[in-house]
Amino acid sequence: MSQVSYFTKEGLEKLKEELNDLKGRGRSEMAKAIQEARDKGDLSENAEYDAAKDAQGLLELNIGKLEQLLASARVIDETQLDLSKVQALTTVKIKNVANGAVMSYMLVSEKEADLKSGRISVSSPIGSGLLGKKVGETAEITIPSGKIKFEILDISI
């Protein structure tokens, strides 16, 4: 059984667009590449044909993964979020206890994560370490470079 993934409405639409693009344009381009490689002669010694077939297998694998992700995807109604604790799709303002740096992150699904835009995955070390915490609490999170403490300053949408 697959794990449920929570998305924003926009994130789910992007996922659907990506899947439709792979099924339409991606499969079409792959069929052309296979046909061009097939036209080059003997298939038993045709490295280009083998590469195209391998690429087709990867494309189909990617399509399957996206279909599985969509099947388990749920959109969270932001108006129903409990802002008393950190959870998926909330924006949390945190302070690094060691250096006083203040940051703000929205916790999203792994597929929607983008650090540059302030979106971190709920399954990342920091994201999972913040889940369930309340304003005023301190989260001690183990990251690859050691342990880090964050104080929860604010939780919002």
pLDDT exceeds cutoff 50 at 1 = no
Confidence of residue 71 (pLDDT cuts 50, 70, 90): confident
- Higher-pLDDT residue of 22 and 112 is 22
- Higher-pLDDT residue of 45 and 116 is 116
Least confident window among 14-23, 53-62, 72-81, 136-145: 72-81
The per-residue pLDDT for 4 is 73
The per-residue pLDDT for 41 is 73
- CB burial of 24-35 (b: ≥16 within 10 Å; e: otherwise) equals eebeeebeebbe
Q: How far apart are CA 109 and CA 16, in angstroms?
A: 15
User: Does the global pTM surpass 0.95?
Assistant: no
pLDDT exceeds cutoff 70 at 2 = no
AA letter at 144: P
The per-residue pLDDT for 70 is 86
AA letter at 118: G
| Tens digits of residue pLDDT in 39-48 | 877 766 778 8
Q: How far apart are CA 114 and CA 144, in angstroms?
A: 19
| Tens digits of residue pLDDT in 46-67 | 788 888 889 999 999 999 988 9
N-to-C CA span, the chain: 30
| The total number of residues written for the chain in this structure | 157
pLDDT exceeds cutoff 80 at 108 = yes
List, in order of start, the domains of the chain with CATH numbers. 5-75 (1.10.287.180), 78-156 (3.10.50.30)
